[in-house]
Each structure stands twice: as structure tokens, then as C-alpha cells.
Chains A and B, each alone.
Chain A
């Protein structure tokens, strides 16, 4: 067996009153791929952050190559050969991709940054990873998936011995996620050690040598991946087995009432063109497509964040296009955006404030916000989305990633919308909670709203949607109903390429 690289002994970490890690003993072996799985809030990110020197353990010992170490900051851990890719990305938005990749590696303060050498090294990195990101682009202008790639390249550029990745595939599309899994295998072949946090259990089992399950801050067990199945992991993560992931489709099919959303020939130059789209009450429509196929741009246009150049939008009885999210909301159209950190949450404010932000008129009297009214609504709303109502006054920044996503759903289900749009609804949400969110979306639809969601997880699109639209290069490439298979979706996603193969 190989030697231990990192050992945690009796590590505990508390935040205020909440225990994030409780007496965790964990050994990470040199050269292994070690996956951490667990529910939202189980302590996976905290564990990664303790090893990366972001947080300091309250109790317990951290050993690196057999020697006890204390990391006072990420700087110390980087110096010790550890790279950490955080769940909430840490991009410097105003610098170029190149600068971001080589951040912290510019050499001594006096040496001139050698741009040409960096560009060459960048090209090598890009070739090695197969990531195609313009090195001179402003990092902040990139979409989330691209930013994720920049973070991964940064970790690789540091030539670290141990790389900790916290949900690196959450924002990547299927093909890119597969690429990342290959990169992880390459890293292992080079003798590096990888700690990999993910909610995609199949991914975990595909690449991991060993898997550790965390629950409520405690380590349930560490075992060889070969002996586990997704079901066995779910059972120890949740403490119960999970029935089926997806709720049953509505028996009587969507009602044939008037469409809640009717889009005709909607276009925006360079983003999407000639999009026709309809959602009926009670119906869940999923949009699949490659990252960059114009899906996010389309839904952002629907809610009034972007102006279409042509086409019509009609929501329930109101004609759009809408000038702002406020106008869309008035018509009954709301959206859970793709990036909850950038576009969703005010991290420093409480759950209460974040949820009621777009509904202040309903929870106030004469312009005075009524806590009692807020509490009354949230006490039933929070459990409905799977949040503990005792969290009502926690700052959202202190919630785990998955629970933050639930806050976003609570916000937009405060009032039942005519149409709920969700862009990547389950990003970073654990399996148990994901099943909960699917059930919730189905319930919302059954109560008469329409649901439109964008997802890069084809299994999710197929499992949840009554009808699937596939977008390719800004156009609706096709619509699928009935028994949809992953193959059908992929064929439409890559239609051009397959046609070339046939020819």
C-alpha cells in the first residue's frame, strides 16, 4: 500500500453554534483519487477547506507526509504542494484568463512577468486538458463553466502534489465533465493525489479509488470504491434508501388550458434566433443543449434581463417582452438564475431577507416590513423546499451550497408564479435534496403553474421533463416527447457532427 499523504485525526470545526465537522479521522493516501460524498451541509467543503488552510480546525491534528502541520492560510498549504478549487469560484474578474491561471505564481515580486513564456505554458495546459478558453479574455466575462475551467487550469499550473476539487463538475456540461474525469485519471497516472467532492455518485465511483461518506459532520465510513454502488452510498449518506429519483409524470398529462408561456420567433443577434416555445399549465418543459448553445441567454431574455431584437413573448394574459425582471414578475414569470452567488443571493443577509426580497410589498404594511408576516409565510415555505425553518435568521453565506439553492427556490415560490424558470436547478444539490426539488417542481406544476428549466444533466432533463427541447447554436434543434432516451437528446445536441459522420 502507498504511504499516507494527509492524515486528519480527531478534526472538529464549529461555526458559531453549528458543528460542521465532528472528530473526523481520515487518511488520504499518496497517489489515490479520494471522493467525498454526503448531503448538503454534511461538511465536505469544510473538510476540504481545513486541509487547504482556508479554515483552521478547532480541534484535532493535521499531518502531511507524516509530520504534523498547521496551515495558517491557503498560502501555507500552497507552499506545501496543495491546490484547492473552491465550490464558490475565486476568479479575479477584471484580470485576463492568463493572469488568473498563473495567479500567485508570478515569481518573486521583482521579477518581470514573462508573458510569452506564460502563453506557451498556457497553450500546453490547454492541450493537456482539452479546455479551449481564450487566454486574453477578461475572466469576469466568461460563463460559469469556463470560469470553472480556469480554476482547474490554475490548480494544474501550480504543479501541486495534492489537488482538492470541490464540486468541479457542478457547472460543466456532460462532455466537459467527462473531460475532467479523464484529467483526474491523468493526474493519478502522474502520481498525484486528488480529493474530489461531488454529488454525482456515478462520477465518484467511476474515478475514485476510495470513497468517504460524511453525514452531519461525522465520517460514516471510508471504503474502496469498487465495493460501493450509488445505492449503497445514498443509503449511508441519507441514512435511508431513496426510492426513485424522479416523481411520476402527471397521469392526465398537462391541462389543455391556455399556454402560460408563448414565445414566437424570439431572436437576439449572436445568441439565439427564431425560438418558438410554449409551456402549458401543469407542464414541465426541459431545455437541453451544450454549454454555450444560448439557453441561459434565452431564459434571461424571457425575464427581461436582456432585450430581444425580434419576436413575441406572452405570459398568461400579459404581453411581453418584459423590460425588467420586475415587469416579468408582475406578469407571473420568475427565474432561479444559473449562478446563485453572482445573481441570486445577498450572502451577508439572512434567509428571511433573501427570500422576501422580491415580495417586500406583501410582507409590509405602509412601507414597514413586518417580521411577523415574513415569519408566518416562511414557516411553511422553508420546509416545503427542504430547509430547516430554524435557519430563518442565518446569513445565507453561512449555509452550504445546496441549502443556498433551496433559498433561491423559496424566493420564487413565495407566490405561485404562472411560470417558474430554473436555470440549472440542482447545481450543487445533494441526491436526497435533488429528489426533493424534483418533487417540488412537480408539485408546483400540478398546482397549475408551468415550469421551464435548463439543465446540462441530460438524465435530469429526461427524468423530470414532460417535454424536452434541445438547443444547438442558438436554435431549437428539436423537440422530444413521450419516451425520450439520452441518445435522442445527444443526437439533437450534436446533430451537425453526426451528419458529417454520416456523409
Chain B
């Protein structure tokens, strides 16, 4: 054994710096090419716009690190908003509505976790199936239309400002910090990595593997419902057929950032860099008025690259 110390493989280093450099590079290019991009208003707007995906990306990161996968965040996003709106309208309490809406994500996430762990159903299948169920419930509650909420206390939340930050933006920052700390510093975080990295080894080590994965799905559900309630508040309504692509976008961001889809690896800061890259690409293409079709092509390419580099880095680890 000669020189010791940090010995991460070159590929992983290249990936980490590569992702960071691309983000910085994009930022600089946009700042130079577009005057509107440089404005503080644009940046704050970006933060506000991407708060939904940002929050959900944090939840997804925990889930993916633990070896899970949650495709039901779109459904939870919609259903939690519907629950918040319905409660506010029918029980007359916006506070209760907002709280119930957020809590619903936790419960729905727990449900996913139980399906995957105790039910031993493949995560893709389980969360796609539960999506259908959740959206069905949302349809039943809204009876196919939109639940409009005529309550200022309800609607104010999404528009509230703290200094320059909107409430969703603030929620994003807080959620990101909290999940980063949980993942990097706490006992539960260590267990998430262990369970995702080697499920059997974690089990042999006496980790309550099922509980840890259920926790991860619960957090993922919670992230979707926080985002969902904030969106419902901003829209002053809850509706079941929100056609979003949150799961896709959040997972894209996470993967671009270099969180391994095979589990056991990745951090919140990396996922956030992924969100940043997505945001910059979207914003840049808009500001520079490039055909959105190119944006799709570029995104697809980046995803494939990110996943390939991940698989590559894993292979050399053996």
C-alpha cells in the first residue's frame, strides 16, 4: 500500500466535476448571451418556478438512494391538492385543508412503501398502480371537475412573500436543507445508503430494512404533497387531471446530478445541481427563443449520458 487517502475512481471524479462544470458553464453562457437572464428578478422567478420540481427531486433522491423508485409523485401532487381544496370548501377551514393535504402525501407514501416492502411488489409496478388508484380517488372527490376555493386564507399561502422569496421558493430551500442534512448526517441517512447499496448486507447487519424503505417512500410522498398543496393554493383550486410530468422531470434532474438510479449513492447537493441544469436549459432556451424541440433532444441526450456514466463508474468499481 503506498499513498493512501481519497481514492475515488477517475470516472467518478470526472462525473462530479463534469456535472458541476456544466452547470457553471451554462450559467456563464446564459449570463453572457442574455441580458434578461442576468436580472435578479429572472433568477428569483426561476427559483419560484422550479420549486415544485426541486422539492420533489429532494424526495425522489431519498427514495432512489434507498434503492426505491417513486413514479406516483404526480398522482400524489394532484390528490393532495384536491384534498386540501375539498377540506377547505366543505369543512370551511383552510388551515385544516392545508394540513390535511400535506399529511395525505405522507400517508400515500407510506402506502407505497408498504406495497414495495411488505407486498414485495416491484417499485415501478407498485407506484404506477398506486398512481392510478390515487388519481381515481382524486376523480371521485372532484367528480370530474375542478374544486375552486374561494377563500383568501387558502390562496394567500402560495403568493406569500418573505423578502424576495415566495413561499414555494422558501419551502424548496427549507426542504432541500432538511433532506440534505438527513441524508448526509443522520443515522437514518446512513441506513438509507446501506439499504440501497446492499439490501442483504443491511439486513444481515440488523437494519430494519423494510422500515427504512417505507420511510423513504413516505418522504417522497410528503415532498409531492407539499408541492401539491402549494400549487393548489396558488391556483385557488384542486383538480384531479393535472397533466404534469413531475416524476419524469424530478428523476431526470436527480439522474443528471449523478445520483445513481441503482441506489446506494448520491447526495441532495448533486440532485440540486441536476435541477439547476434543467432550469438553466429551460430558461435559456426560452430567453434565446430556440425551438423547444431542440430542448427535448438535448435533455434526452443528457439523460442517456448521465445514466451511462453512472453505469460506467459502477463497472470500474468492481
Contacts and interface: CB of A to CB of B under 8 A. Distances in A.
Contact of A367 (B8, B10, B186, B198): B186
Interface string B219-244: 00000000000000000000000000
B1 A388 contact: yes
Interface in A380-408: 388, 390-391, 393-395, 397-398
Contacts of B204: 305, 325, 335, 337, 343-344
Interface stretch (B139-147, B189-197, B271-279): B189-197
Contacts of A347: 197-198, 317
Contacts of B317: 347-348, 395, 397-398
A144 interface: no
Q: Give the bracket for the number of chain B residues in contact with chain A.
A: 20 to 34
Interface in B57-75: none
Interface in A354-368: 356-358, 360-361, 364, 367-368
Nearest to A216: B1
Contacts, number: 114
Given A18-B1, A361-B187, A88 B193 contact: no
Interface in A436-478: none
Q: A326, A346, A361, A390 — which one has the most chain B CB atoms within 10 A of its CB?
A: A346
Contacts of A335: 204
Contacts of B4: 17-18, 388, 390-391, 394
A364 B9 contact: no
B301 interface: no
Interface in A3-44: 15-19, 41
Contacts of B8: 16, 395
A342 B190 CA distance: 19
Contacts of A18: 1-4, 7
B35 interface: no
B200 interface: yes
B190 A357 contact: yes
The main secondary structure of chain A at its interface with chain B is mixed
B96 interface: no
Contacts of A390: 4-5
A324 B190 CA distance: 20
A329 interface: yes
A357 B5 contact: no
Contacts of A50: none
Contacts of A79: none
Contacts of A197: none
Contacts of A328: 206
Contacts of B7: 15-18, 394-395, 398
A340 to B, nearest CB: 8
A360 B190 contact: yes
A407 to B, nearest CB: 11
B292 to A, nearest CB: 37
B318 A88 contact: yes
Contacts of B187: 360-361, 364, 367-369
18 contacts: A16-B7, A17-B6, A41-B1, A216-B1, A305-B204, A342-B198, A343-B200, A345-B198, A346-B264, A358-B205, A358-B206, A360-B191, A367-B186, A367-B187, A368-B185, A388-B1, A394-B4, A398-B317
Given A342-B200, A346-B193, A397-B318, 9 more contacts: A19-B2, A343-B200, A348-B197, A349-B193, A349-B197, A349-B264, A364-B186, A368-B187, A397-B317
Interface of A: 15-19, 41, 88, 216-217, 305, 324-326, 328-329, 335, 337, 342-349, 353, 356-358, 360-361, 364, 367-369, 388, 390-391, 393-395, 397-398, 411
